Amino acid sequence: GTQVTVEIHHEDTSPQLIKRLSLGKGSQRLRGHYNKGFQRTEAPRPPGAKDLHAYPWDKSSLKSMPVDLQQFKKLDAYALKVNVKNSVEELVKALLKQARTDLEKVRAIWMWICHHIEYDVVGYHNKSQLSSKPRDVLQMGKSICEGYAELFEHMCSLAGIQCKKLSGHAKGHGYKTGQTFTGDSDHAWNAVYLEGRWHLLDSTWGSGSVDDSFTKFTYRYNEFYFLTHPALFINNHFPDNSNWQLLKPTLTLKEFENNMLHNSNFYTMGLLAAHPETPIIQTVNGKASVSVDCRASTLFMFKLKGTDEHGLMTLKKNGMKLDIYPQKTGSHKLEIFAKPSKAEASDDVYKCVVEYVVECESVDKAMRFPKDLHQPVGPSWFSERQGFLQPSHREPVLHTNDGRCSLTFTLSKDISVLTSLHTDGSSLEEDMGRRHVLQIHRRNQIELKVHLPHAGSFVLKIYSKKKSDPGNYDYIFNYLIRCLNTEVKWPAFPQSYSKWLQDYEILEPLSGLLPANRNVQFKLKMHGIAKVLVQAENIHPLTQNKGCWEGTCNTSGCREVFVMVHENANHSFYSQVLKYEVETQ
């Protein structure tokens, strides 16, 4: 019913009218029914071959067109400050003042909606009272997804940009791993037409999130849902009309239901893939395995039913691997968290990136881990970064039959190392835990000799600090050591004191418990001292021979044996460096 006047001008004359129709300039008199001086947008064309992206994701870009977020900085800041609430037309006009290209116009509208419209948690529960008309949404400042999508569509059409509201199923709030979707669609989002192609966005999810009880909305801007790559958007958005997946090939609802849900953190942290690719995993002989691939070194953690006790996680240069051994049958929720390793302090939190359900039919009791085991297990790029290079054992678990094992590393920094051995039960108190590991330093190499007190599962923890630092040691990494041989019973190494220097070495006796009434051979590598004595009931001097101090000592009649050094020939006092105990008869 609108009347349109068409003027035809000779090409030499300047057409007045056309100018007047462009936004906000020109005379007022054309404003009749004419959409208040905005350009009319043509009806949206359906998606065609040139809109489609390949599925699965080619791991190239998170967005469906090149976007330089740095270049949006000024525009974003401007859009956030626009404060027009009286009409949608006035709001669009204000937003477009700083936007030249269609992309900039869409960006300004997107930024404004994401930061000014909040999710209406009350309205969600009581939809009859709810209007999703753009004018009402603007006035109220809140809505549900329907209102976000309608406001977005209306603002774009005022700005002369083709935009379409889409509806479908979403793996959003309340989604349970592996659930099916039936009945009406439950979510709405938009497609916008830019630079000759259709693109997808979701301003509801761009604006923030709702808490678990669905009673509180928190603004938390999420860049991920602006022009998301369709092969990633399909991860949690399934449109009623499959053409709007913008994918080649399109997915079926069944495939959508069975696919892994990766939330936006997964991609924004540079993670690439998770295996298995199905959300429900069955254990095989009590074990399930998961891995994640990523580009840059990333730190991971996991929770199985809220704890990280029943797994073995190893960090790799480009990802992580996790073996899970649930200690109860049934269904268990497995969450995997990640954080960038170079995180600035503000961003220094682990975020959930993927969730599985582990269905366990039988329990592998042998794979119970000591409670002191700390994830991740074994050496990694992280321990390398802390100065422990070229580990002799790259695997997280060491198996020993005779209860002894030895690990070596090259130390790249000037660090002091502290080690301790732990197991469940009270067989190793703190002090004894340290004495079952012996450090041997040879230039920048360190060897850790471990003698287990009995069979079982043990954790070898490794700490370090800069030699120049007065402070505490920092925990770096740990290994799991297993021994099934029940005859194993190694005594601790001798106790050493502060005058025992890092590069001294005990060649014999390595056992801190000496037999009674015996002659025991001593051989110690020490430098820079004048005299060495072994004090039992009597005093036995050692003699120097090719950099070693050697001699024998008789253990009869005493409970303890001390090795003493005389650091300077002119001094009369000795310092204790080692202490051995003698077996009681």
For residue 7, report the phi and psi dihedrals to the nearest 5 degrees. Answer: -110, 140
Q: How far apart are CA 17 and CA 483, in angstroms?
A: 90
Q: Smallest Cα–Cα separation from 584: which of 550, 549, 554, 559?
A: 559
Catalytic (active site) residue 163: no
Percent composition of the chain: helix, strand, coil (DSSP 3-state, to 5): 20, 35, 45
- Residue-by-residue DSSP string for 464-506: EEETT--SPPEEEEEEEEEE--TT--PPPPPEE-TTS-TT-EE
Whether residue 187 lies in the annotated active site = yes
**Alpha helices by DSSP H, 314-409:** 381-385
Q: Are 177 and 259 in contact (CB under 8 A)?
A: no
CA distance 336 to 182: 28
Cα–Cα–Cα angle for 407, 300, 392, rounded to 5 degrees = 15
Q: How many residues does the chain have?
A: 585
Active-site residue, from 114, 145, 163, 483: 145
Query: What is the spatial distance between Cα 95 and Cα 99, in angstroms, rounded to a whole number?
Result: 7
Longest distance between any two alpha carbons in the chain, whole Å: 124
DSSP state of 318: T
Residue 392 corresponds to which tokens in the numbers above? 């002799």
- Catalytic choice (187, 199, 332, 451): 187
From the list 363, 388, 364, 367, the residue with the least C-alpha distance to 378 is: 388
Could you give the CA distance from residue 183 to residue 167 in angstroms, rounded to a whole number? 13
Backbone φ and ψ for 579, nearest 5 degrees, come out as -135, 130
- Phi, psi dihedral angles at 580 (to 5 degrees): -110, 155
Residue 284 has phi, psi (to 5 degrees) of -120, 120
Q: CA–CA separation, 527 vs 438, rounded Å?
A: 19
- Tell me the two tokens of residue 560: 């303890």
Q: Are 374 and 461 in contact (CB under 8 A)?
A: yes
Are 160 and 184 spatial neighbours (Cβ–Cβ below 8 Å)? no
Query: Tokens 């064309």, residue?
Result: 45
Label the pairing between strands 271-275 and 298-304: unpaired
Q: How far is Cα 576 from Cα 585, in angstroms, rounded to an integer?
A: 26
The gap between the terminal CA atoms of the chain, to the nearest Å, is 114
> Using an 8 Å Cβ cutoff, are 280 and 303 in contact?
no
CA 290/CA 336 separation, integer angstroms: 10
Question: What is the side-by-side order of every strand in the sheet holding 226-228?
Answer: 226-228, 197-201, 187-194, 163-170, 237-239
Catalytic residue among 76, 120, 202, 308: 202
Angle between helices 88-96 and 102-116 (to 10 degrees): 130
Rounded CA gap, 421 and 331, in Å? 34
d(CA 236, CA 200): 13
Q: Which residues are catalytic?
A: 145, 187, 202
